[in-house]
Structure 1
Amino acid sequence: MAAVEGCEEMSGNGELEESSAMEGVETHVPPASETASMPEENGGSIVAPEAPVGPDPAPFSLPPPAEDEEGELPVDFERLWKAAQDNPQDFTSWTDLLQYCEQESHLTASRRALQDFLLRYPLCYGYWKKFVDLERRGGHINKAEEVCVQGLQAIPLSVDLWIHYINLLLGTLDMNMPESPCRIRRVFEDSVAAAGMDFHSDRLWDLYVEWEKEQGNMRNATAILDRALKVPTQLYNTHYDKYKEHLNGNEPKDVLCQEEYEELRALCRQSQKAERAEQPQDEEEERPPGEEEPATPEGTDTEELMQKIREQVLLQRDKVYQQNEGEVRKRWNFEDAIKRPYFHVKPLDRIQLRSWHSYLDWEIAQLTSDTKDPSPDPNEEAQEASEPTEPTEPTEPTEPTETTETTETIEPIAPIALAQEESEGGVVAHDDRRVRILFERCLIACALYEEFWTRYAQYLEQQSVEEARAVYKRACEIHLMYKPNMHLQWSAFEERHGDLTEARRVLEALETNLPGLAMVRLRRAGLERRAGRLDQSEALLWDAVTESKEKPTLHAFYSIKLARLLLKLSRNPSRARRVLQEALEISPDNDKLHMNLLELEVSGDPWASAEAVQECVTRALAAPLAPHSKIVFSQRGLQFVEDYGNSIQSVLSVYEEHQKLLREFGGAKREAENGEEDPEKLCKSDDGSAVAPPTMPHVPITTPPPSMMGTDMSAQSGYGGYGSWYQQPQYGSYGYQNTWNYNQGYYPPS
């Protein structure tokens, strides 16, 4: 078997770069006259139609660790191990640990480190390969195979990992056993079903073809080449060259399926007879009298006939090749713009992220419109990077010709996914699978970016709730464990689709993983409230208030939320008042607590709550609040007594206290807006530029307002800022020709 395991070396990003023996003879020829260097492979994916694309939604698990066979662990292992465990998001700590274990050549330490690392970073296919080699060198062949299977479950899109697995089997199985070739063929079929449609899957197809040739299965090799011809890949042209070489180097009857061979043989014989019938009559008279044309032995075909059959085969395949070349050309610049198709913790630059988005936009557009064929221009950087020698416009694929598909069985266990997806005689149809493949490839390089996971889940949700749920599960339980936004989206997704139990579980797990996030506790309370479990929502907020007493700001925040729930939904103002009063004992300097308590009292019966309102104002004025906040509370107290006071004496008394406060703070007045609840919104500048005036009816003023001469200007804006409201220039069109000073003549000059 010539399937030689490639030479491996570590790159700077911790991934393994592999060049197989087969790559040395492959020539990169872009479509038409385009020339560019494409990024290295890291795999896309496609699976059988009945299975979702991507890894198994269930969390994968590594083989259990074996007993310590080498005694004590290396000296520095515990130190490096603790550093990695204390900060599992620090990728450098993990690579230091793995490098140390590799240097020490300690099987148990390496196994332990790799197992824990790959649970957190399963997309690092290079470390899966290292793990396999570690077990193989230790003589644990079965464990090496288990690791390979687990790695392919975590990242089924990696062509490199599939080739590594196949090479492991080729190097360890006894090929003299009848079941060994069947097992190898099944693995090949699984590999092309999972990664065969990736743009960089050429090595996998070539390895499969060469293996079938070595097994003497020429018809199987032809069937595989036929499938490869229909897949847009980077080295698409080499498959056609190898097909021609394969066909010309063997008898057509040995490489074509029986049905296609008989059909073409009959067609070519008919063509030969027609050609002979058209020959001049005198050519037949040159034979001696009585001598007839020599008869061809029954079942024997001439070389001329064989050549005609080859020509017919290539004529049909050439149409497929031309159509496939058009598909490659349309994707070329997009692929060329992708510089890092593998996973790494280092951030991607904006150009790379934009390139992925542009590629996805284009692929989805191809799906949604059969007639639309936009030019492949992901961004200017992609065009500059590819630098084609001459501009090429994407062409519309030609209609596939009607040919007889090869049906030779190659003993797969599962259905041959690619064969099922192929349109008759042409390249794989442009449908939803292409979009999914691209999303899966994107989520290798962009696994740490929520935007792509969200986009993929939203795309799948339109077709299958279960597939969208699997995407959320992969994102939140493997790659984005410490990014709450994705978990919150997952919970909202489950609630939207009626699975409240799962929505609760997602939020509870997130709060356990990232304790102390207020938005998570509020989402949990909101979920219970929407589910009609108001007592559970209240209990969650009570727990939050109790647990946050050591953090005054957070305690005040939760207290306000709980008080609002008790007041607005539970209709229990006494409990809401008690919550705010207790919070003020812990945070007397929190103006938001004071303001919410004041609003609670103001919202009650105005005649019954007058004393409580005045008490709130007095408490706020005595608290260690900022001067402008105290002025706001004084203004609100004045507003209340102005609107609901029982006597003019009470109004004037509060007004005088307010004037004293203004004088105490040097006239640093802050005018309150009617109806505002947030004190930050109540504190506006004196010019009133940010104050929204109420809508007033257009009523002409027949009596001019009282004169402003001789009045205290502070009194004009002492309460409510009415003067500033009506001094806005935009009110000129409403007929207010002069200032309507509401307070003028009502309060005496101070």
Structure 2
Amino acid sequence: MAAEGSDMSSNGDVDSELETLAAEPLPETLEPSDEIPEPFAEVPEHVAIIPQPMAEAPEPMAEVPAAVPETSEENGGSGTTAPYAVPLEEGDEDEDGELPVDFERLWRVAHDNPQEFSSWTELLQYCEQEGHMTASRRALGAFLTRYPLCYGYWKKYADLERRAGNTNRAQEVCVRGLKAIPLSLDLWIHYITLLQDTLNMNLPESTQRIRSAFESAVLAAGMEFHSDRLWEMYTEWEREQGDLRAVTAVYEKVLRTPTQLYAGHFERFKAFLSAHHPRDILSTEEFKRLHLELQQSQGEGTTPAEGEEERPPGEDCPSDAASGHQYTEEQVQKMQELLLASRQKVYQQTEMEVGKRWNFEEAIKRPYFHVKPLDRAQLKAWHSYLDWEMGEAALEVQEGAAEDQEGASVSRGSRKRVLVLFERCLIACALYEEFWTKYVQYLEQHSVEEARSVYRRACEIHLSHKHSMHLQWATFEERHGNITEAGRVLENLEQTMPGLAMVRLRRAGLERRTGRLDQAEALLREAVQQSKDSPSLHAFYSIKLARLLLKLGKNAAKAKTVLLEAIELCPDNSKLHLNLLELEVAADVRGSGTGVQQCVSRALSAPLSPRTKLLFSQRGLQFAEDFGSSVQSVLTVYDEHQKLLKETGNKKRSAENGSSEEPEKISKMEDNSAMSTPSMATPPVAPPVPMTTPPPPMMGGDMSGSHSAYGYGGWYQQQQYGGYGYQNPWNYNQYYPPS
């Protein structure tokens, strides 16, 4: 360890990644400065972070999101790049020789059931027990790729590398973990402690490196309500370095930040202020302002004192910072009082902001991630807190930023605080789509790119198994004109979760809306071919393809061919017959019209229910009446319909008399119709006006169920055929005598 601090150049990559962590996901890049940057003034519009459990919460060793992307091949995965895993270096494979005996078995069990957390913990415990470095690296890398919110395992990984003497790799593990959860106070403290313990503090660059780490930490996590430990650690470290002005600068920031232990920071600041001369803890500019305030409070003007030479305008007087020895004890005490009075106003404003949030914070009982569901009270508490904070931010926009007497902006319900709260929420509620959706809707009002970043994080890491979130993402991209990305999202989703009909339909719909009908047709044809082993799904895709060919392709022949092929594979699917019937009905009626009768005959000979057959027969009779070429053809269809009615009636009576067969329930239309007993009354002189029967919506409407949210659950439910418009059939007995 003695030489660890001497090769500072070897740590350049870690430093650069840490700087990127503090400047990229959170704010716009900070400008280099000799002074400590103001962390909250520099925070950008979007905080692409995932917060960490509160400091008081126990280390959640069993925190697991339900699914995340595959790991890289180097870490033992399937080949997809692992965003947070630390890759194995050349020679790592042979570092400890062959892998332990049971490693491959446990590894395969974990990868075959990636959402089963116990399989991963068993693997990690085995690697730790065996003490095999390569196996532990591979297991931890793959585990943390899938479960990046488990900050305790990031610490375990870093400690593992440190014990092995790999200090640089331990630092790299911490940086990777902080990229995954930048609001992790425990991980920031662990990383900074690692630097303090391993860097050679005799080198001036070591001090600057630790200070930069502190700055990055408060920039990323300083607005967290439970960040007090980090702030206190920062002030104490600066005090140890002897830089009193830097200590004051840190206090200036934390006193303006609503945190749980805000009062303790103010008490420590008062003790710090009373123990030092204002000249030693304030910058030159602020000390000059304090000196002028002191003169005004004592009634002193700008006239030179007796015996004092008059100086040109702009030249400092002897009572400036360079001549502090001229101040009496009373003057020093007065300056301390003035300085404290100005900070007292800031403290009161902060106290008011903490009071507003206190009840919301108290209502949050589980701020860390866990696989166990949250109760409704917890979910409601997060929703209420987010809604209130967003309301505060909107109010601030309307009223303008609140300012204290010095003109410094006081943080209220700013947008930055809204972002931090959302990120905190998405630790405890990472498995709840409603919060990701709420976050995206808020961000989209300000920045499309920020909303896209949240979609990517949700879908590629925490909700990779939630298809609805991916569909929302694809819709978002299409709505903003990014057609290529929308197609990529849908294609990746279909590869991850094959067999989802709505995903294939969304892909086809995307191609159709962009004018690529050939691609839409190809996707549906592929789905038809791939679903032959599932007759109901094959029928579903066939109907969708036929509708596309008929309505947009204007090719009724192709549409008919698709439906006929589907009927041949699944003859008992009434939806296929109904769609084919409507296709024939919509054809040119000036032809022979045999297509309709053929379709009806095909349905009557198919293994359909008697009730369904009765509907087809009735529809055929209606078509013959409307467009038949001769009265004899109408009578022929009518006779066949009467036979079917009698057969259906006989089956019904047999069932009522105790037949062992399951009775087929006939729709209410049969009870209201006049078909059961032909009327022998004299027909009227003029036929009555028939009741209007709306055409069935088969080829023109969605046969798959509810249109909302592309839900196709209705496709697999028994259709209520009364919905097709046959509840009030015409009374054909008034036109033709009974057969």
- TM bracket (short chain): 0.7 to 0.9
| Residue aligned with 1:665, SS | helix
Q: Please point out which of 274, 282, 286 is paired with 1:260.
A: 286
Report the Cα offset of residue 361 of structure 1. Answer: 0.9
CA distance in structure 2 between the partners assigned to 1:509 and 1:270 by the alignment:
70
Q: 1:64 aligns to what SS in structure 2?
A: coil
1:69 Cα deviation (Å)? 1.8
CA distance in 2, matches of 1:134, 1:371: 48
Give me the whole-angstrom Cα distance separating, in 2, the residues matched to 1:60 and 1:51. 23
The answer to whether the 8 A contact 2:392-2:412 is kept is no
Q: Please report the TM-score for the alignment, with normalisation by the length of structure 1.
A: 0.75
Map of 1:685 onto structure 2: 668
> Which residue in 2 is equivalent to 1:62?
85
Shift of 1:683: 8.1
User: Is the aligned partner of 1:143 residue 2:195?
Assistant: no
Match of 2:705 in 1: none
| 38, 46, 55: which one aligns with 1:52 | 46
Which amino acid in structure 1 is aligned with residue 355 of structure 2? R
Deviation at residue 263 of structure 1 after TM alignment: 2.5
**Cα 1:609–1:345, aligned 2, differ >3 Å: closer, same or farther?**
farther
| Alpha-carbon distance, 1:208 to partner | 0.5
1:505-549 residue CA offsets vs partner (Å, 9 max, x unmatched): 111111111111111111111111111110110011111111111
For residue 250 of structure 2, the aligned residue among 224, 243, 247 is: 224
Call closer, same or farther: CA 1:721–1:207 in 2, change over 3 Å. farther
CA-CA distance at 1:272 after TM superposition = 4.1
> Aligned equivalents of 2:296 and 2:142: distance in 1?
68
Counterparts of 1:489 and 1:84, CA distance in 2:
30
Structure 1 pair 505–522 and aligned structure 2 pair: CA distance change class (3 A): same
Corresponding position of 2:227: 201
CA contact (8 A) 2:390 2:413 kept: no
Q: Structure 1, unaligned stretches of length 5 or more?
A: 1-44, 276-296, 374-396, 404-423, 670-681, 692-705, 726-738
State the partner residue of 2:523: 540
Q: Equivalent of 1:91, from 105, 111, 117? A: 117
Kept in 2, the 8 Å contact 1:365–1:372? The answer is no
CA distance in 1 between partners of 2:637 and 2:574 (Å): 21
Separation in 2, partners of 1:231, 1:526: 49
**Maintained 8 Å contact 2:621/2:637:** yes
Contact residue 82 and residue 145 of structure 2 kept, 8 A? no
The aligned runs of 1:108-187 (5 Å cut-off) are: 108-187=134-213
Is the 8 Å Cα contact of residues 47 and 194 (structure 1) preserved in structure 2? no
**Does residue 1:488 correspond to 2:471, yes or no?**
yes
C-alpha distance in 1 between matches for 2:689 and 2:364: 60
Kindly indicate whether the alpha-carbon contact (under 8 Å) linking 1:620 and 1:630 is maintained by their aligned counterparts in 2: yes
Question: Aligned to 2:458, which of 468, 475, 485?
Answer: 475
Residues 696-739 of structure 1 show CA distances to partners (whole Å, capped at 9, x for unaligned) of: xxxxxxxxxx9x997289x9xxxx997899xxxxxxxxxxxxx9
Q: 1:555 aligns with which of 538, 543, 563?
A: 538
Letter in 2 for 1:134: L
SS in 2 for 1:666: helix
CA distance in 1, matches of 2:531, 2:98: 45
CA–CA distance in structure 2, aligned partners of residues 369 and 609 of structure 1: 72
Distance 1:93 1:164 in 2: 27
**1:309-348 alignment, distance < 5 Å:** 309-348=335-374
- Alpha-carbon separation, structure 1, partners of 2:555 and 2:381: 55
What letter corresponds to residue 54 of structure 1 in structure 2? A
> Given the superposition, is the C-alpha separation of residues 59 and 320 from structure 1 closer, same or farther in structure 2, using an over 3 Å criterion?
farther
Matches within 5 A, 1:451-600: 451-600=434-583
Q: How far apart are residue 47 of structure 1 and its match? A: 9.0
Instruction: State the TM-score, normalized to the length of structure 2.
Output: 0.76
Matched residue pairs, number? 596
Report the Cα offset of residue 338 of structure 1: 1.1
- Root-mean-square deviation (CA, aligned residues, Å) is 3.2
Q: Which residue number in structure 2 is paired with residue 711 of structure 1?
A: 679
* CA displacement 1:378-406 (0-9 Å, x = unmatched): xxxxxxxxxxxxxxxxxxx9964333xxx
Measured in 2, the distance between the counterparts of 1:232 and 1:668 equals: 79
CA distance in 2, matches of 1:181, 1:242: 24
Shift of 1:593: 0.8
CA–CA separation in structure 1 for the residues paired with 2:100 and 2:179 = 31
Unmatched 5+ stretches in structure 2: 1-38, 51-80, 302-322, 653-664, 694-727
What does the per-residue CA deviation read over 1:269-304, in whole Å, with 9 as the maximum and x for residues that have no partner? 4534679xxxxxxxxxxxxxxxxxxxxx98332221
1:104 CA displacement: 2.7
Could you say which residue in structure 2 is the equivalent of 1:430? Answer: 413
Deviation string 1:344-376 (CA, Å, 9 cap, x unpaired) is: 222212211111111111111112224999xxx
- Asked if 2 retains the 8 angstrom alpha-carbon contact of 1:316 and 1:401, the reply is no
Partner of residue 78, structure 1:
104
Of the three residues 728, 736, 739, the one matched with 1:747 is: 736
| Structure 2 counterpart of 1:617, one-letter code | V
- In 1, Cα distance between equivalents of 2:159 and 2:611: 71
**How do 1:33-48 and structure 2 match up within 5 A?**
48=42
Once the two structures are superposed, what CA deviation does each residue of 1:85-139 show, in whole Å capped at 9, x if it has no partner?
0011222222222222223332222211111111111111111111111111111
Q: In the alignment, which of 613, 628, 645 is matched to residue 630 of structure 1?
A: 613
Report deviation, 1:74: 2.6
Counterparts of 1:712 and 1:245, CA distance in 2: 110
CA–CA separation in structure 1 for the residues paired with 2:182 and 2:402: 32
> What is the match of residue 417 of structure 1?
none
Cα-to-partner distance string for 1:309-364 (whole Å, 9 max, x where unaligned): 11111111111111111111111111111111112222212211111111111111
SS at match of 2:536: helix
Distance 1:134 1:596, change over 3 A: same
Structure 1 residues 601 and 609: alpha-carbon distance in aligned structure 2, compared to 1, 3 A threshold: farther
State the AA in 1 paired with 2:459: C
Deviation for aligned residue 1:434: 1.6
Q: Using the alignment, how far apart are the partners of 1:426 and 1:522 within structure 2? A: 51
The verdict on how the C-alpha distance between 1:167 and 1:559 changes in structure 2, with shifts beyond 3 A counting, is same
Give CA deviations for 1:230-271 in whole Å, capped at 9, x if unaligned: 001111111101101111122222222222223223433453
Compared with structure 1, are the counterparts of its residues 358 and 548 closer, same or farther at alpha carbon in structure 2 (3 Å cutoff)?
Answer: same
User: Partners in 2 of 1:59 and 1:455 — Cα distance?
Assistant: 27
Structure 1 contact 366–430 (Cα < 8 Å) conserved: yes
- Aligned partner letter, 2:227: S
**Partners in 2 of 1:605 and 1:741 — Cα distance?**
23
Matched with 1:401 is 404
- Aligned residue for 2:197, secondary structure, equals helix
Offset, 1:585: 1.3
- Contact between 1:60 and 1:153, CA under 8 Å: does it hold in 2? no
Note closer, same or farther for the CA distance 1:116–1:398 as it changes in structure 2 (3 Å cut): closer
TM-superposed deviation, 1:494: 1.1
Residue 360 in structure 1 maps to residue 412 in structure 2 = no
% identical aligned pairs = 59
Summarize the Cα distance change of 1:582–1:633 in structure 2 as closer, same or farther, 3 Å threshold. same
Aligned-partner residue type, residue 63 of structure 1:
V
Aligned to 2:5: none
More moved, 632-641 vs 62-71: 62-71
Which whole-Å CA distance do the structure 2 matches of 1:332 and 1:609 have between them? 80
- Mean alpha-carbon deviation: is it higher for 73-82 or for 165-174? 73-82
Q: 2:714 maps to what in 1?
A: none
The structure-2 alpha-carbon separation of the partners of 1:333 and 1:429, relative to structure 1 and needing over 3 Å to count, comes to closer
Looking at structure 1, the residues matched to 83 and 452 of structure 2 have their Cα atoms a distance apart, in angstroms, of 16
- 1:97, 1:483 → 2: CA distance? 26
What is the rounded CA distance, in whole Å, between the counterparts of 1:657 and 1:740 in structure 2?
Answer: 16
CA displacement, residues 549-583 of structure 1 (integer Å, 9 cap, x when unaligned): 11111111111111111111111111111111111
Q: What is residue 378 of structure 1 aligned with on the other side?
A: none
